[in-house]
């Protein structure tokens, strides 16, 4: 009985180590994007502004969900854009029309997500800000 429990515990520890290691890789990727991508840092700044506005303007739970969705969409699309650009540069180091179109479309997804976030932010924050003045 003790051997079975010990073996089960060893398996659990191995699984947890792999899980923790995978989170380390994920945070390493976010740190890389933060360190190397100006647009990602700009979006993080906008995230900070939105979170502060939400806190000080006491937005509702539903509004927080819209803000969280907007932030997530922008940051995720920016990370995907960075990944696609890096992969495109790797497989096509020279000039290539198709590679350029792929990179343009990837950047377009960020623009769409950012436009959604901007509109969401205006709908949520503008009426509250106007009441302050």
DSSP 57-117: TT--HHHHHHHHHHHHHHHHHHHHHHHHHHHHHHH--S--HHHHHHHHHHHHHHHHHHHHH
pLDDT tens-digit readout, 24-36 = 999 999 999 999 9
The answer to whether residues 10 and 57 belong to one domain is no
pLDDT tens-digit readout, 34-56 = 999 999 999 999 999 999 999 99
The residues, ordered by sequence, that sit 6+ positions from 57 with a Cβ below 8 Å of its Cβ are: 125, 128, 129
Q: How many domains does the chain have?
A: 2
Domain limits for position 17: 1-36
The answer to whether residues 26 and 74 belong to one domain is no
Contact (Cβ atoms closer than 8 angstroms) between residue 125 and residue 53: yes
Residue 114: how many CB atoms within 10 A of its CB?
19
The answer to whether residues 60 and 103 belong to one domain is yes
pTM for this model (two decimals): 0.86
């Amino acid at each position: 009985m003790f051997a079975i429990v010990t073996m089960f515990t060893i398996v659990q520890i191995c699984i947890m180590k792999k899980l923790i290691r995978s989170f380390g890789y994920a945070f390493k990727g976010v740190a890389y994007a933060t360190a190397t991508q100006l647009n990602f840092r700009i979006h993080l700044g906008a995230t900070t502004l939105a979170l502060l506005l939400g806190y000080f303007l006491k937005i509702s739970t539903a509004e927080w969900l819209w803000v969280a969705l907007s932030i997530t969409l922008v940051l995720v699309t920016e990370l995907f854009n960075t990944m696609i650009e890096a992969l495109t540069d790797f497989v096509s180091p020279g000039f290539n029309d198709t590679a350029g179109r792929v990179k343009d479309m990837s950047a377009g997804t960020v623009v769409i997500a950012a436009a959604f976030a901007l509109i969401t932010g205006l709908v949520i924050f503008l009426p509250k800000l106007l009441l302050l003045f």
